[in-house]
A = this chain, B = another copy of it.
Amino acid sequence: MLSIGALAKATGVKVPTIRYYEQQGLIAPPVRSEGNQRRYEPAARERLSFIRHARDLGLPLEAIRELLELSETPEMPCVDAHRIAGAHLGEVRARIARLRKLEAELERITSACDADTVGDCHVIHALADHSLCDSEH
């Protein structure tokens, strides 16, 4: 049986975050000690590691909740798990595409200024005037 601190250390998830996950129903409320402190069975470590890893990959808690439910019934077909992961991959790609546009625009804006004062600064002007932009955003 692990204390919440030991579980935190074992999984890399912070103590308040574990309590938050419990409150959100992602992990079951564990048994308590006589003094009302949480005591986790070793299996809790795996579930929490799963959550942590999925979070590291950027999955929202709602998607993780679905994946956890799926993983509890191993005989279910796993197309749903693929759908969730695939949808997330799509979102990640969309975010990358958008950020690359921003990167290009910021690069252009910041490199085009050789002024000394704010009055002539290209950065300030480019922000004030959208028509100076290369692409839509």
* Interface of A toward B, CB cutoff 8 Å: 46, 49-50, 53-54, 56-58, 67, 70-71, 73-78, 81-82, 85-86, 88-89, 92-93, 95-96, 99-100, 102-103, 105-107, 109-110, 113, 115-121, 123-124, 127-128, 130, 137
Cα–Cα distance between A53 and B128 once the two chains are bound (Å):
7
6 A–B pairs (Cβ distance < 8 Å), ordered by A: A57-B105, A58-B102, A67-B123, A76-B117, A81-B124, A89-B107
Q: Which residue of B has the minimal Cβ distance to A81?
A: B123
Judge whether B78 and A123 touch: CB under 8 Å: yes
Cα–Cα distance between A32 and B49 once the two chains are bound (Å):
56
* Residue of A92, A119, A120 most packed against chain B (CB within 10 A): A92
Cα–Cα distance between A58 and B78 once the two chains are bound (Å):
37
Q: What is the distance, in angstroms, from A5's C-beta to the closest C-beta of chain B?
A: 21
